Amino acid sequence: MYAVIESGGKQYRVAPGDVIRVERLDVAAGETVDLDRILLVADNDGPRMGSPMLSGVSVTAKVRAHGRGEKIRIFKMRRRKGYRRQAGHRQNYTELEITQVAGVSAPIAAPAAGNG
């Protein structure tokens, strides 16, 4: 059982229990967020695709943390001219733990943490 969601202009394949990093969301850590931009859901009955989005399906996720990605260096240079410019960028992200995919034949929750 998995779903393909859209967040921040990117698409993610998620299943209950997965941890993903998406573009920064304005939600406090520890809260839950409902992701309703679902492109595809696949379960035992096979995949269902939206055109472009599915209605009546949602993915619930818990916000684990906010952070900043690794620094990306941008370096511009013109040969033989002594022109060099260096800049850096760190992208903000939100780390989500997928807890449930709802709206399919039976809601699927994340597996319980066991002793094994």
The pLDDT tens digits for 26-68 are 999 999 999 989 999 998 888 889 888 998 899 999 999 999 9
Whole-angstrom distance, CA of residue 104 vs CA of residue 67:
32
CA angle 46, 48, 51 (to 5 degrees): 160
**pLDDT over 60 (residue 23):** yes
pTM of the predicted model as reported, rounded to 2 decimal places: 0.81
